[in-house]
Chains A and B, each alone.
Chain A
Amino acid sequence: MNGHREPHESPGPITSTAGGAAWETSVRPHLSGAARAADGQSHDRPHPSGPAAGPAAGTVVEEEAARWRRLSGRSPWASGVKSLVVAAGAGAGLVRFLMGRDWTAGGIVAACAGAAVLIVAALVAYDLLRLRATRWRLTPDRLELRSGLTTRQHRSIPRDRVRSVDLRADPVHRMFGLTVVKVGTGEHAGDGDEVALDPLDRHEAEALRRTLLRQEERAAAAREEGPVAELRWSWVRYAPLSVWTFTGAAVVLGALYKGLETVGLKRFTTRIAAGLWEWVVAQPLLAVPLLLALNLLVGVLGAGLLFAESWARYRLEREPGRLRLRRGLLTARSLTLEERRLRGVEINEPLLLRLGGGARIRSIATGLGKSSGDETEDAAALTPPMPRALALQVAATIAGTPLPVTGPAPSDSQAGAPLPVTGTTLPFAGPVPSHGPDGLPGGGAEGPASPDGLPGGGAGGPAAPAGLAGHPGAALRRRVVRAGVAAVVAVAAAAVAELTAPWAWVGGWVWTAPVAVLVLGLWHAVVSAGNLGHALGSRHLIARRGAVVRRTVALDRAGIAGWTVTESFFQRRAGLLTVSATTAAGRGHYEVVDVGRADGLELAAQAVPGLLDPFLTREAPSTRP
């Protein structure tokens, strides 16, 4: 594999991987718009050498199967560049320290240079030693990795257990054509779960991915289907719809202030802060709106940049048996998720995004949460924020079946929305007795519970859009009562504050707090109750909840590993209960909250036929009018 040192000059077997590596070879930090467009095209049509490339790529790795191989020899260069950051930080600290000791400028420069050389040399040397100590190989059965300077480790994954191959290349890695490969088995087994090859040659990494996932012969066919979703830059308008837009700039400023302080520029920052404060005090009418506007501007800009870095070149593809997600402007990421690990999708709508008509899709998969715990970003995210209608479409595509949540975007179930009441036409809506006679003769999954034949859910009002059945009015009453209790507590706290606070100005203003609590509480109660909903798809159990962040979960019914039904004292009096489906994937349990007792139990019984049925008590319809 020496040829990998100069991949572009060597015509050997490496070029045959071009079909798979196309996007990565054209991916550079200085990528222009035209190049990006060309890059996009190379995906849309099957690469000419695609079908031939696949098997050949496999053999590249396969040929040398039994041989122990090294990681990429260019890794020390990348470590060298990265260590400059550490060296710069250490240099700054050193400058500050030596300035305090009255060193001359020349002495300081010399000391800094010495320290920098030392640090870079040490880190590069460490990386060289690490490379020397690390070997990996791919046998016909297993992927093996020997590593460790002081503690020798030997990790071995059976190839048929490989569930994910994630590629990741940060900007420095990409400068040197390197990629970090993480091979996971998708089990929560802890340490032995993942083998990381840090780093491999870009082409070698791609070839390894293709070999491990055995997609060679099918890759070309998959390409023609087109992607499940692909970035449109207009989605950037959803990026600022987050709390961070309003707080992010202030947070960054605070961190910067602290950071400059530690580097020894405290006098400087203090002077700026003092000047700013004087200005605000002198001209509050001008300064405050201006600062707020500036904060917002920085926030919007930051959100846009973050969106670009995370989601540029976003592309979600369905390959046979798996989903492949590629994204990232500076750091290129490629995640492959086996579909047999997938147990459903979650449609995520935080308040601001929801008001803006957007939504995000997250996957519900087994063994996903822990494996990427070192990364700050959400490993389950499948899409950037995108228009809601499109998100629902993508969710249905990923789920492989139409989900009853699809339909016209609801009016966000805002205040005043009529709640589902007795007698709605939806099979699951309304309190217990309303559908006794007409209800559920079949009992099977395809009985009247299947919402496909429902008339759009219009009868349920905005609370039950497109097939989702709303929950009984008692669910709203519970939430209103809770808001009332919170308000009473706030009133009591305000009274105490007024009586005991030593400042006179507290007197009037303190009473705004209970009012705010009451208003917010009522808003939360109404929206939360309105957002409650559930349905049974042909393959999925769908449950929706949440006021601030609305989550619509479509959980594969085959992935349900049990039920937990809870009924609190107050729920019992209101005829409600909470049905929780436990599963091996995602958060481990997904609830249908505050559903009518009979509806909830019937839903659970039909979602997994035969499981709950033996434990239900039923009443013959003849006993009811």
Chain B
Amino acid sequence: MSVTGLRPPRNRADRRAVPWWTVQWLILMVPVAGAAVAAYWFLTERPVWLGGVVAVFALGCLTLAVVAPRAAYRVERWEVTDQAVYTRKGLLTHTWQVAPMSRIQRVDTARGPVQRLFGLADVTVTTASSAGAVKIEALDHEVAAELAERLTARTQATPGDAT
């Protein structure tokens, strides 16, 4: 049988990820768009053509803030089997990561301030490699805690120093 590709992992991020990421994008994009508009209004003679350019730019920023999280939600997936943690992410550059249970050294959960408002958490699975950390983003915080517990229990059951 010939290999045709990697199948997508089974699970998506939590539904609340979309509003959370949108808020994140807006926190970044609103000041950028606002600065462009403000610069146009106060620092230039307000020529019409430049106004058009600035408007397109500002609208583009806001559109991106709305569209990007939805696209990311479609792409980002994760799965935990008995043998491995498997994730996919990336819009333009697709990235799949696989970390075997036997090599997992640390399991962290993290919740940012805004993230907490949405009841979400990230789970980071670290292996012995400096390059091998696998991050599962935007899970329901209870799911995340449960997952971290499960992973910790499993990795503790595996012998060896995981290098």
Is the Cβ of B98 less than 8 Å from the Cβ of A618? no
Give chain B interface residues in 83-133, CB to chain A under 8 Å.
Answer: 83-84, 86, 90, 92-100, 103, 127-132
Flag if A612 contacts B98 (CB, 8 Å): yes
Report the minimum CB–CB distance from B154 to chain A (whole Å). Answer: 15
Q: Which of A590-616 contact B (CB under 8 A)?
A: 597-598, 601-602, 605, 608, 610-612, 614-616
Q: Is B153 an interface residue (CB 8 A)?
A: no
A201 CB to nearest chain B CB (Å): 35
> Is the pair A562, B81 in contact by a Cβ cutoff of 8 Å?
no
Contact B3–A564 (Cβ < 8 Å): no
Give the residues in chain A near B127, CB-CB below 8 Å. 561-562, 582, 584
Among the listed B96, B100, B128, B163, which residue makes an inter-chain contact with A611, where contact means beta carbons less than 8 Å apart?
B100
Contact B99 A561 (CB under 8 A): yes
Name the contact of A602 in the complex, choosing from B3, B83, B84, B130 (C-beta under 8 A): B3
Asked if B2 CB lies within 8 Å of chain A CBs, one says: yes
Of B2, B92, B95, B98, the contact of A562 (CB 8 Å cutoff): B98
Q: How far is the CA of A562 from the CA of B162 in the complex (A)?
A: 11
B130 touches A588 (CB 8 A): yes
Count of chain A residues near B, Cβ 8 A:
42
Residues of A with C-beta under 8 A to B4? 597-598, 617-619
Contact A601 B3 (CB under 8 A): yes
Choose among B5, B92, B129 the residue that contacts A583 (Cβ–Cβ < 8 A): B129
State in angstroms the CA–CA spacing of A266 and B130 once bound together: 49
B148 at interface by CB-CB < 8 Å: no
- Contact call B2/A624, Cβ cutoff below 8 A: yes
Query: Is B43 positioned at the interface, with any CB of A under 8 Å from its CB?
Result: no
Interchain CB contact under 8 A, B3 and A598 = yes
Known contacts A568-B92, A582-B127, A589-B131; is-contact A561 B2 (Cβ 8 Å): no
Contact B83 A611 (CB under 8 A): yes
Q: How far is the CB of B116 from chain A (nearest CB, A)?
A: 29
Cα A618 to Cα B7 with chains together (Å): 9
Distance of B77 from chain A, by nearest CB (Å): 11
B residues near A618, Cβ cutoff 8 Å: 1-4
Minimum CB–CB distance for A416 against chain B, Å: 32
How many Å lie between the Cα of A278 and that of B43 in the bound state?
55
* Set of chain B residues within 8 Å of A154, measured between Cβ atoms: none
Judge if A448 is at the interface, Cβ distance under 8 Å.
no
Q: Is B48 an interface residue (CB 8 A)?
A: no
Which residues of B sit under 8 angstroms from A616, Cβ to Cβ? Answer: 3, 5-7
Answer whether residue A73 sits at the interface, using C-beta atoms and an 8 A cutoff. Answer: no
* With A569-B93, A572-B94: A598-B2 Cβ-Cβ less than 8 Å: yes
Residues of A within 8 A of B58 (CB): none
Contact of B134 with A by CB under 8 A: yes
- A26 close to B (CB within 8 Å): no
Q: Does A383 lie at the interface of the complex (its beta carbon under 8 Å from any beta carbon of B)?
A: no
Which residues of the other chain, A, contact B128 by a CB distance below 8 angstroms? 366, 561, 583-584
Decide: A562 and B83 in contact? CB cutoff 8 A: no
Chain B contacts for A510, CB-based, 8 A:
none
Verify A564–B132 contact, CB threshold 8 A: yes
Minimum Cβ distance to chain B for residue A561 (Å): 4
* Contact of A432 with B by CB under 8 A: yes
CA distance A565 to B103 in the complex (A): 18
B interface with A by C-beta (< 8 Å): 1-7, 9, 79, 81, 83-84, 86, 90, 92-100, 103, 127-132, 134, 162-163
Interface pairs (29), CB distance under 8 Å: A440-B2, A561-B100, A561-B129, A562-B98, A562-B99, A562-B103, A562-B129, A564-B131, A565-B96, A566-B90, A566-B94, A566-B96, A569-B93, A584-B129, A584-B162, A584-B163, A588-B130, A588-B132, A597-B5, A601-B5, A601-B6, A615-B7, A615-B86, A615-B96, A616-B6, A617-B4, A617-B6, A619-B2, A621-B1
Give the interface of A toward B (CB within 8 A): 366, 432, 435-436, 439-440, 559, 561-569, 572, 580, 582-585, 588-589, 597-598, 601-602, 605, 608, 610-612, 614-621, 624
Excluding A563-B98, A566-B94, A597-B4, 16 further A-B contacts by CB distance (< 8 Å) are: A435-B2, A561-B132, A562-B98, A562-B103, A562-B132, A562-B134, A563-B97, A565-B96, A568-B92, A568-B94, A582-B129, A589-B132, A614-B83, A615-B84, A618-B4, A624-B2
> Which 10 residue pairs across A and B have the least CB separation, nearest first?
A584-B128, A582-B132, A589-B131, A582-B129, A588-B130, A561-B103, A584-B163, A618-B1, A562-B99, A588-B131
